[in-house]
Amino acid sequence: DSSKQKQVIMLRKILYVVLALFSVSTLYAQSGALKGTVKDTDGNGVPFANIVVERNGNQVAGTTTDFDGNYTLKPIPAGKFTVLVSSVGYQKKQINGVLINADKTRFMDIEVAETSIKLDEIEVVEYKVPLISKDQTQSGGTVTAEDIEKMSGRSAESVAATVGGVYQEDGEVKSVRGAREEATTYYIDGIKVRGSKGLPKSAIEEVSVVTGGLAAKYGDATGGIISITTKGPSRKFFGSAELMTSVDGYSDNLAAVSIS
């Protein structure tokens, strides 16, 4: 009996380790990073400045700058965030709408003003997405939640079809850059998916299509990659309601409600 109990305990420990490794790998697979330097108005690095990344009032990540004012924050899930910067002797700064993409590093240098008087006000600025990404090593495109809301398509495949190099037919992706249909690989939150990929449009944070320059983690892919990232936890409820009917006599009716 004692030997059986030891075997059961050992199997439980192995299972816990496997689940922990799987969770960590999934987190890193669908996360990005934020990197840059905090500088004063003279261009000098600000050491030991506090940097906090928030979304919907929840802290997602945080760090402090080194002696030269450099910082790196990872992993950060895909989406838009608010970045707060504070340091003794400097005015606090808040940057809204910082866009983080999965598997990419966003470079952002932050300038803070010196002050010798304690100020209650916070400088608030809106983040602007740069035209050129410094770590862009692959071809394709990414469609964010803001753009998805404006689209008429209801599925992730219809969203992916808006990226150059993707061919669709009847709402389904048929090929990426001329490859066979079965050569296109789908990922949802870093997990390879076969079969149904049905997700409500309101639950999608971004859809990334990789048409060339595949990363090492996609080593078994022979065509394109369509990676779907869902929205993370939030203090607020969100959802959508959709009603569609045809007027051409084909009785093509659709009603859908999604709440999360």
248/138 Cα distance (integer angstroms) = 43
**Each residue of 145-186: pLDDT tens digit?**
777 777 766 677 777 777 777 877 776 777 787 777 777 888
The first and second tokens of residue 225, run together, are: 């990659």
Beta pairing class for 70-77 and 105-107: unpaired
The first and second tokens of residue 5, run together, are: 């109990």
224/221 Cα distance (integer angstroms) = 7
Asked if pLDDT for residue 28 goes beyond 50, the answer is: no
135/19 Cα distance (integer angstroms) = 31
Distance in angstroms between the alpha carbons of the first and the last residue of the chain? 47
189/193 Cα distance (integer angstroms) = 10
Which pLDDT band holds residue 2 (cuts at 50, 70, 90)?
A: low
CB-based contacts of 180, cutoff 8 Å, min separation 6? 223
**Helix (DSSP H) and strand (DSSP E) numbers for the chain:** 3, 18
**Each residue of 10-25: pLDDT tens digit?**
777 777 776 665 554 4
Residue 135 near residue 104, CB atoms below 8 Å: yes
Q: Which neighbouring-strand residues pair with 32?
A: 76
The first and second tokens of residue 36, run together, are: 């840059």
51/13 Cα distance (integer angstroms) = 37
Residue 21 DSSP label: H
Least confident span in 12-16, 24-28, 191-195: 24-28
What's residue 27's pLDDT?
46
Indicate yes or no: pTM above 0.75: no
Q: Which neighbouring-strand residues pair with 122?
A: none
- Is the Cα dihedral 123, 135, 26, 22 positive or negative? negative
Higher per-residue confidence, 105 vs 237: 105
